[in-house]
Structure 1
Amino acid sequence: RQKKAVRIFPRPTSGHLRPVVHCQTLKYNMKLRAGRGFSLEELK
């Protein structure tokens, strides 16, 4: 597992690359959560 992680290093290890975003409502807007994902333009 360690050798594989070193071999594919720049790529994320598991799952999608998700932005950290704030929740929307007044009750939760101080809280951070994982967003839906990046658009293709943002990844370029």
Structure 2
Amino acid sequence: ILDYWAEHEDTLGQIVTHVLVHEIGHHFGLSDADMERIEQDASA
């Protein structure tokens, strides 16, 4: 995560949110579209 953060313009919070949403989402069987919607709602 830190390597990605150092090489991209995303904030650390955005990266952590993305990773958490996707890991938890996969665990509960959410689709990529569902997870994208959750991320958009979290950033609003």
The question of a shared fold, defined as TM-score above 0.5 by the shorter chain, is answered with no
User: Which structure's residues are more often strand, by fraction?
Assistant: 1
Q: Normalising TM by the smaller chain, what interval? A: under 0.3
- Give me the TM-score of the superposition, normalised by structure 1: 0.22
Q: Which has the larger radius of gyration?
A: 1
Q: TM-score, normalised by structure 2?
A: 0.22
Structure with more helix by fraction:
2
